Amino acid sequence: MSIKTRTRLFVESQQITIKAFERSINASNGYINNITRSISLEKIDLIVEKYPILNIEWLLTGKGDMLKALTDLNEPELQYIHEDATTRATMTAKALVKIDASVTQLLQEVAEIKEHLGKKRK
């Protein structure tokens, strides 16, 4: 498996887009698609900084697990996991509120259509 493939797997596991990942490491659009053999040291440093739970040995060589074990994480890395989980929960809650509002609006429209049809039939 190539570094490009492992990078894509990690990005997918974080439930973000390739574009968002590229932005987070100050890379241009298409950077991941253009990886042929390796990633520059500058980008590796940024990946380690932005994604401290990623096992960089796995990314570069394929050895070991994709993510560091929780027991191997230090306090800032554990904080990253907490903040990420909180962000995802907030995003999910906001999405559910929007869906609920959409469903409520659709139900109201259906009721109005039924009422209109009822008047037409009389």
pTM (predicted TM-score) = 0.56
Strand partners, 67: 54
Q: Is 51 exposed, middle or buried (0-12, 13-18, 19+ CB in 10 A)?
A: buried
Strand partners, 54: 67
User: What is the mean pLDDT for each group of 10 consecutive residues in the chain (122 residues)?
Assistant: 88 87 87 80 87 87 83 62 59 65 82 85 76
Question: Using CA atoms, how far apart are residues 64 and 50, in angstroms rounded to an integer?
Answer: 20
Q: Tell me what pLDDT residue 102 has.
A: 78
Q: Tell me what pLDDT residue 89 has.
A: 59
Q: Tell me what pLDDT residue 63 has.
A: 93
